[in-house]
Amino acid sequence: MPVIALALSDGVPLFELAAPCTIFGTGKPPEAKDWYEFRVCSPRRAKVDRWFTASTPHTYDDLITADTVIVPACHDRDHRPPVRLVEAVREAYDRGARVMSICTGAFVLAEAGLLDGRTATTHWMHAAKLAARFPAVTVDPDVLYVDEGRVLTSAGKASGMDLCLHVVRRDHGATVANAVARRMVTAPHREGGQRQYVTPTVPRSSYDDLSPVMDWALAHLDEPITVEDLAAQAHLGTRTLNRHFHARVGTNPLHWLQAQRMQRAQELLEQTQDSIDVIARRSGFGTAPVLRRQFRRTLDTTPDAYRRTFNARASA
């Protein structure tokens, strides 16, 4: 059972703890074959925000043996993390652990040298300070999260939940991640490349709710839908539809559509024994070669390998 360790520092904000505790620490969902052992690691009687005191048998020494280390926001206003925390995170990574940060937890990873030569993100309010203090890090202040394999960073608060669900999706597949999201009553998947914050650029109108257009697209994913088709369903021009998508979703209609096709293909690979050709058609990619190229580009794997990993009947 892989161990996920959450690293508390004194005064850590409560919200940044909520997502990892809820997603990784509340027990195995029925859809999952196995799950995680979840630990909270902190100094003795560390404060959580201004209201609570942590009570846990695990210290920073226990981070070193974990398979995944999560560092939530650093409360210190100058973002100077505890030396022992930085050392433990570095030791965990050197032993082979995956490390991930939420919000200003990125400063801990940067202090440990784990972001040098990598792209990372943090809350947009602190991105300039992260970039100035650590010039070897490429800081992207616009995205929700960045996955660099064994080093993952996310922006503020809600994007930490997006990153945690992304990790579940990586480890257990789309079906399990969607089940966890349903339990939390949240969106099952937001891509890391979406913008951290969306400033409305068009006046509010009756078209602000894109749900009918999205629902129509999801019901017709097996068809060759174009942006023009989506615009026609919304009774809008393509430029106007693009503006609405960017304002409300943080990405363009074609990118959103491709993401839905990928999710449908993942679910079909996990839950059915359909051939790759059939899944390509049912998810709207048309042919197996197109589906394979998209899997390689998006997930760096093949549909067959994905099925062997996440389809219980295929791996039995």
Domain that holds residue 234: 201-316
218 shares its domain with 140: no
Percent of the chain at pLDDT above 90? 51
30 shares its domain with 175: yes
Instruction: Tell me the C-alpha distance between 155 and 255, whole Å.
Output: 21
Instruction: Tell me the C-alpha distance between 160 and 182, whole Å.
Output: 17
pLDDT for position 98: 97
Q: Which of 155, 184, 213 is the last residue of a domain?
A: 184
Answer yes or no: are the C-beta atoms of 139 and 127 closer than 8 Å.
Answer: yes
pLDDT for position 79: 67
Which of 13-22, 90-99, 101-110 is the least confident region? 13-22
* Per-residue pLDDT tens over the stretch 117-167: 999 999 888 899 999 999 999 999 888 899 999 999 998 778 888 899 999
Q: Give me the CATH number covering residue 249.
A: 1.10.10.60
Instruction: Tell me the C-alpha distance between 313 and 69, whole Å.
Output: 31
Task: Decide if 192 is inside a domain.
Answer: no
* Residues whose CB is less than 8 angstroms from the CB of residue 169 and which lie 6 or more positions away in sequence, other chains included: 176, 177, 189
Task: Decide if 195 is inside a domain.
Answer: no
| pLDDT class of 101 with cuts at 50, 70, 90 | very high
* Per-residue pLDDT tens over the stretch 228-247: 999 999 999 999 999 888 87
Instruction: Tell me the C-alpha distance between 80 and 308, whole Å.
Output: 44
Q: Give the pLDDT mean for 57-83.
A: 86
176 shares its domain with 229: no
* Per-residue pLDDT tens over the stretch 14-59: 888 888 999 999 878 888 888 999 999 988 878 887 788 888 899 9
* Per-residue pLDDT tens over the stretch 145-154: 999 999 999 9
Task: Decide if 248 is inside a domain.
Answer: yes
pLDDT for position 88: 96
Task: Decide if 194 is inside a domain.
Answer: no
List alpha helices for the chain, DSSP H: 14-25, 83-94, 106-111, 127-133, 158-172, 174-184, 211-219, 227-234, 238-248, 253-271, 276-282, 288-299, 303-310, 312-315
212 shares its domain with 162: no
| pLDDT class of 190 with cuts at 50, 70, 90 | low
| pLDDT class of 75 with cuts at 50, 70, 90 | low
Instruction: Tell me the C-alpha distance between 7 and 107, whole Å.
Output: 13
In this model, does residue 71 exceed pLDDT 50? yes
Q: Give the pLDDT mean for 85-98.
A: 96
Rounded to whole angstroms, what are the CA distances from 73 to 33, 90, 135, 140?
31, 17, 20, 17
176 shares its domain with 235: no
Q: Give the pLDDT mean for 168-184.
A: 87
In this model, does residue 112 exceed pLDDT 80? yes
* Residues whose CB is less than 8 angstroms from the CB of residue 176 and which lie 6 or more positions away in sequence, other chains included: 29, 31, 32, 168, 169
151 shares its domain with 40: yes
Task: Decide if 191 is inside a domain.
Answer: no
| pLDDT class of 4 with cuts at 50, 70, 90 | very high
94 shares its domain with 243: no
Q: How far is CA 265 from the centre of its chain?
A: 19
Classify residue 45 as exposed, middle or buried by CB count within 10 Å of its CB (0-12, 13-18, 19+): exposed
pLDDT for position 312: 64
How many domains in the chain? Answer: 2
In this model, does residue 187 exceed pLDDT 80? no
Instruction: Tell me the C-alpha distance between 203 and 200, whole Å.
Output: 8
Q: Give the pLDDT mean for 175-186.
A: 82
pLDDT for position 67: 97
Largest Cα span, the chain: 60
pLDDT for position 181: 85
Q: Give me the CATH number covering residue 136.
A: 3.40.50.880
pLDDT for position 185: 67
259: nearest Cα among 294, 287, 233, 290 = 294
148 shares its domain with 206: no
Rounded to whole angstroms, what are the CA distances from 54 to 7, 8, 51, 88, 194?
11, 8, 10, 19, 34
pLDDT for position 193: 47
Q: Which of 184, 214, 246 is the last residue of a domain?
A: 184
30 shares its domain with 83: yes
180 shares its domain with 212: no
pLDDT for position 31: 85
Q: What tokens does 291 get?
A: 């589906």
Task: Decide if 309 is inside a domain.
Answer: yes
Q: What is the mean pLDDT of the chain?
A: 86
Task: Decide if 13 is inside a domain.
Answer: yes
Q: Which of 184, 211, 232 is the last residue of a domain?
A: 184
Q: For 49, how many CA atoms within 13 A lie in the half-sphere containing its CB?
A: 8
Q: Give the pLDDT mean for 275-290.
A: 94
234 shares its domain with 301: yes
Task: Decide if 314 is inside a domain.
Answer: yes
pTM over 0.75: no
In this model, does residue 271 exceed pLDDT 60? yes
212 shares its domain with 178: no
For tokens 């994913």, the residue is 221
